[in-house]
Structure 1
Amino acid sequence: MANLIFFIALLVFFIPISAASLSDAWLSDANATFYGDMYGGGTMQGACGYGDLFKQGYGLETTALSTALFHDGYTCGACFEIVCRNLPNWRYCNRGSIIVTATNFCPPNLGEGTGHWCNPPYKHFDLSMKMFTTIAEYRAGIVPIYYRRVPCHKIGGVKFELKGNAYWFMVLVYNVGNAGDVFGVRIKGSNTGWLTMSKNWGQNWNIGVNLVGQSLSFMVTTSDGKTLEFDDVAPSNWQFGLSYEGKYNF
């Protein structure tokens, strides 16, 4: 009976909140602007918690998302392909497409009502300047786009940055391939069973358990329902502030 209860608990934990849509279908219900400068100034840190986007492998190929796309940070890490949409008498598009990762939130300005592009219910991409000027002329400012979810292609394994203290443990999960966005995290110390972590903000997950001195394993579920187990990612002498890499990726 105990094994059955544990199995049911795992099924409940690993049902994704909403399955990611990775398909060839292009959507046209969004626009794009840009923020920051050509070198990434103003685009670091951000609401997904990734910090230094160059150090963590995201670079300038990034976007902030409006409320309708951000989904309280659950879309962090997802990848999108974007093309400037040529309309009649529109002259500001450049050829080609870009692929960007969601790393930030474009906050609404409710004082402008529905007049602000990041207000609900609008779907909007606030790109890094480098990405915006790849698909459109700088002077355009805002452009209509086609977009679609695409798989994220990452180098190396999923990475785990350990934060917090002995009694309040937090991990940032990043460099996640394929679906890219994480919907569930479990952690296991060498002296514990699997423990469910709570989403704190962005892609930071926390738990109030003292795991100091134990080697750490993680179980990660992405929005498409896939789950991978990363055993003994961090050795027993792990340290806060450091990142540890799993041996594989989604």
Structure 2
Amino acid sequence: MEMLRPPSFLLFLVVAAASRRFVPPAVADDGGWSKGTATFYGNGDASGTMGGACGYGNLYWSGYGTDTTALSSPLFDDGASCGQCYVVTCDDGASQWCLKGKSVTVTATNLCPPNSDGGWCDPPRRHFDMAQPAWLQIAQYKGGIVPVLYQRTPCVKQGGVRFTMTGSSYFVLVLITNVAGSGSVKAVWVKGSNTDRMPMSRNWGANWQTLSSLVGQALTFGVTSTDGKTVVVPGVVPAWWKFGQSFTSSVQFSN
């Protein structure tokens, strides 16, 4: 059977896209680019990076995959940076271990804790401890640590914002994931079908809490991202919700 071939102009576009290389800035700290350093942790399939200080748990299931990173505390900002996306490129003018012209977009899912002994994650260092699959897109394995250039970039997500219900009958803890745009959350409020609207507070990472019992109520959330945009999700969690269940909204932040 004769195989169909794509038009020649499509082949040209594919070749052109494949040959296009990322060009890092000539000077760091200019035009939104900043200097930092990067290492890697975990193994080749990133299974060793599951969990983490943002509370996302299984990164495959929660949609963050293997292009993730832990941040040093100046970047992590006590969890306020959870979910943010960064373009990172190895500074090939400063290290022989860089893959020249390569970049990777990573999502912040963990904290690289300081050890107060001159470690790479000690303040005021701006450091990315990346999942190994992400690291290998910009540097050689044997490099160990490399200088990088980085900047924030909008997060692109499929589907809506996701709410995972945990806690107990005395308080509700909500993990908020799959946030597009800034990727990170600044403030949250919740309104039950039988209660007034009330603010939630960050418990840890991307987990937000209220000390009110909301069991048996349908829940509406208002989520404000760190770039000041707000989405309101009416009744996203139905009255029959149980602890451990996740619910995905039909709305999402714009880039």
TM-score by length of 1: 0.87
User: Match of 2:232?
Assistant: 229
User: Match of 1:151?
Assistant: 154
User: Match of 2:5?
Assistant: none
Which one of 201, 206, 211 corresponds to residue 204 of structure 2?
201
Note the C-alpha offset of 1:41.
2.3
User: Match of 1:37?
Assistant: 43
Secondary structure of the structure 1 residue equivalent to 2:134: helix
* Cα distance in structure 2, aligned partners of 1:120 and 1:226: 30
List aligned pairs for 1:33-112, cutoff 5 A: 33-87=39-93, 90-94=95-99, 95-110=101-116, 112=117
Note the C-alpha offset of 1:28.
3.5
Q: Which consecutive segments of 4 or more residues in structure 1 shift more than 3 A?
A: none
Which one of 118, 125, 128 corresponds to residue 125 of structure 1?
128
Unmatched tracts of structure 2, length 5 or more: 1-29
8 Å CA contact 1:25–1:148 kept in 2: the answer is: no
The structure with more radius of gyration: 2
8 Å CA contact 2:72–2:128 kept in 1: the answer is: yes
8 Å CA contact 1:26–1:146 kept in 2: the answer is: no
Secondary structure of the structure 2 residue equivalent to 1:233: strand
* Cα distance in structure 2, aligned partners of 1:195 and 1:63: 33
Percentage of identical aligned residues: 48
Secondary structure of the structure 2 residue equivalent to 1:42: helix
Which structure carries more relative contact order (alpha carbon 8 Å, separation 6+)? 1
State the Cα RMSD in Å.
Answer: 1.1
Aligned length: 223
TM-score by length of 2: 0.85
Task: Give the partner amino acid of 2:66.
Answer: L
* Cα distance in structure 2, aligned partners of 1:36 and 1:217: 38
Note the C-alpha offset of 1:194.
1.0
Unmatched tracts of structure 1, length 5 or more: 1-23
* Cα distance in structure 1, aligned partners of 2:71 and 2:81: 9
* Cα distance in structure 2, aligned partners of 1:130 and 1:193: 46
User: Match of 1:246?
Assistant: 249
8 Å CA contact 2:219–2:238 kept in 1: the answer is: yes
Note the C-alpha offset of 1:96.
1.8
Task: Give the partner amino acid of 2:62.
Answer: Q
